Amino acid sequence: MIVAGNWKMNKTPAEAVAFVKELIPKVAGAKAGVVVAVPFTALPGVAGALKGTNIKVAAQNLHFEAKGAYTGEISADMLKGAGAEYVIIGHSERRQYFGETDETVNKKVHTAIAAGLVPIVCVGESRTEREQGVTAEVVRRQVKIALLNVGGDALLSSGLVVAYEPIWAIGTGLTATNEQANEVCGVIRGLLGELYGAGAAKKVCIQYGGSVTASNAKELFAMPEIDGGLVGGASLKADDFGVIANA
Ligand code: PGA
C-alpha cells in the first residue's frame, strides 16, 4: 500500500519545505508507504527536511538518456543526487501536453530501474475511450508497452508501481466509482499475471488516481485490487493528504 502525492507544478522550494514539515507529524503513523512527488527545484530541500521520516521523495518525470544535448531535461542520476527515490513516469499530462508515448514511457521505465529509482507508471483511458468501451484494451496496451523487456526479477526488485488514472477523473472532481477503479486495477493485475505469473502480479502495488479526496480515499483503498493512491489536488493540503495517507 503506497499513497503518493503528485504536486504537479506547485510550490517554490521554500514553500515545499514548509509544507512537508507540516505534513511529517500528520502521516508519521501511516501504515501505507507515503511519497511526495515534488517539483525538481524542491527535491534537495524536501529530501533534506524528510531525512529520518517515513515520507519518501519522488520526482515527476525524467529523461531516458543518461546525459547529453537535451536542453531542459533531467537525468536519473541528477534526480538521485537531488534526493529522489521514486519517479512518476507517463502521467497523462505528460502524454497529453508533452508528447510522451508508450514507447518513451518504456524507455524511461528502463532508465529508472537501472538507476535504482522506483517508477510509478501512470496509465488510464480518456472519456471517449471509456464511452467506446475500450478501457481495458487501452490500459492493457499502455501497461504492456511500458513494461516491454522488463523481466520479472526487475519488476519485483525495483518495486515498480502502476497508477491507474482515468484521464476523465484527473482534476475534474469526477472520481471513478469504487467498482470502476477496482475493475480496471484488476485488469492490470490480470495482465501482470499473464506476463509475470499470478504470484508476481499480487506483489505489484497498483494505485488508483483521479480526484481522490479525504472523503473518498478510505472506500477506494478498501477495494481488493487497489493498493493505494496517486493524489493530485488533495495532496497540496496537509490536512487532507494526512487523512488520505492514513486511510
Ligand atoms: P487529482 O490528480 O487528484 O487532482 O485528480 C491526480 C493526478 O493527476 O495524479
Query: 211 C-alpha vs ligand 1 centroid, how far in Å?
Result: 6
Write the secondary structure of the chain as one string of H (helix), E (strand) and C (coil).
CEEEEECCCCCCHHHHHHHHHHHHHHHCCCCCEEEEECCHHHHHHHHHHHCCCCEEEEECCCCCCCCCCCCCCCCHHHHHHCCCCEEEECCHHHHHHCCCCHHHHHHHHHHHHHHCCEEEEEECCCHHHHHCCCHHHHHHHHHHHHCCCCCHHHHHHHCCEEEECCHHHCCCCCCCCHHHHHHHHHHHHHHHHHHHCHHHHHHCEEEEECCCCCCCHHHHHCCCCCCEEEECHHHHCHHHHHHHHCC
Ligand 1 pocket residue status of 159, Cβ below 6 Å:
no
Ligand 1 pocket residue status of 6, Cβ below 6 Å:
yes
How many domains, in total, are found in the chain? 1
Ligand 1 pocket residue status of 233, Cβ below 6 Å:
yes
- Going by alpha carbons, the residue nearest to atom 3 of ligand 1 is 232
Average pLDDT, the chain: 98
Model-level pTM? 0.98
- Nearest atom in ligand 1 to the alpha carbon of residue 234 is 3
Ligand 1 pocket residue status of 170, Cβ below 6 Å:
yes
Q: Which domain holds residue 164?
A: 2-245
- What confidence tens digit (pLDDT) does each residue in 141-183 have? 999 999 999 999 999 999 999 999 999 999 998 889 999 999 9
Confidence of residue 53 (pLDDT cuts 50, 70, 90): very high
For residue 115, give the CATH number of its domain: 3.20.20.70
- What confidence tens digit (pLDDT) does each residue in 67-102 have? 999 999 999 999 999 999 999 999 999 999 999 999
Positions marked catalytic:
91, 165
